[in-house]
Structure 1
Amino acid sequence: MNSDKEPGMLTAAEAEVMNVIWDHDEVTVSDIVERLPRELAYTTVMTTCGILEEKGCVKKAGKRGRAFLYQPLISRDDARGVMSHEVARRLFRGSVKSLVLNLVRDDAISAEDLSEVKKMIEDLEASK
């Protein structure tokens, strides 16, 4: 991230816009509007891009015609990390373990995903 600001939590609309930006790397507001999974007004997306710029998540990277191009300043993985730690802090008193246990207990994780998580844990333990 190239900003002094920590991006923090993204709203649902901000996350939707960021997903389009991450998927396409350099997009205009019109590009984003066309690719969103739900209909949002052009002005709403434009405002959201401005907020994301203020948060340090995106930057204007030139123009295509008269429209600004937006590029991500934070990776999808970095945003996930920030948001998961923030959820843990807000809802689980800072315990990432409690967050993970909650996901596992609530059947929010498939058996296949659980096997993959176990393998990742084993790999991490082996590397220490």
Structure 2
Amino acid sequence: MQQLTRAEEEIMQKLWELEKAHVKEVLSLMPEPKPAYNTVSTIIRILEKKGVVGHEVVGKSHLYFPILRKEEYKKQSLKQLIQGYFEGSFSQMASFFAKEENLSTKEVDELLSHLKKDIKDK
């Protein structure tokens, strides 16, 4: 799967939220200063070429929808982050964030509890 640019990710976030949308609906959710309509339309067409967005014709317009599921993209992005910055080690990444975010002992215990539960549920 291709990595998405920051602008493409931002558009995908809106499409995941809306599920199906016209360009103007995606644009309405964009933060200020809003990009131009043509910019959003171009990015959506690029996402279509990448195979992560599809469309259906409704009258004279297009209704866009995500093909790529958010969970799948999240999983791939996290794997790339761990590989690229933490030598493939989840524990190095967790340690880094624990230090950077100044997690309390209680927060670390909660994190461990969640991890144990997730492993147990597998």
Pairwise same-fold verdict (TM > 0.5): yes
Where does the alignment leave 5 or more consecutive residues of structure 2 unmatched? none
Q: State the partner residue of 1:51.
A: 46
Relative to the length of structure 2, the TM-score reads 0.82
The answer as to 2:19 corresponding to 1:36 is no
Unaligned 5+ residue runs, structure 1? 1-5
How big is the alpha-carbon RMSD for the aligned residues of Structure 1 and Structure 2? 2.4
The alignment partner of 1:117 has SS state of: helix
> Normalising by the residue count of structure 1, what TM-score does the alignment of the two structures yield?
0.79
Rg (Cα) greater in structure: 2
Secondary structure at the aligned position of 2:62 is classed as: strand
Deviation of 1:25 after TM superposition, in Å, equals 0.5
Trace 1:1-128 onto structure 2 (pairs within 5 A).
Answer: 6=1, 8-38=2-32, 39-60=34-55, 62-107=56-101, 114=108, 116-127=110-121
CA offset at residue 100 of structure 1?
2.3
| Paired residue total | 121
> Does structure 2 retain, via aligned residues, the 8 Å contact 1:21–1:72?
yes
**Shift in Å at residue 24 of structure 1?**
0.8
Once residues 110 and 70 of structure 1 are traced to their aligned partners in structure 2, the CA distance between those partners, rounded to angstroms, is 43
Query: How far, CA to CA, are the matches of 1:77 and 1:53 in structure 2?
Result: 19
CA–CA separation in structure 2 for the residues paired with 1:92 and 1:105? 14
SS in 2 for 1:103: helix
Distance 2:61 2:102 in 1: 41
Question: Once superposed, which parts of structure 1, at least 4 consecutive aligned residues long, lie more than 4 Å away?
Answer: 108-116
What is the CA-CA distance between 1:47 and the residue it aligns to? Answer: 1.4
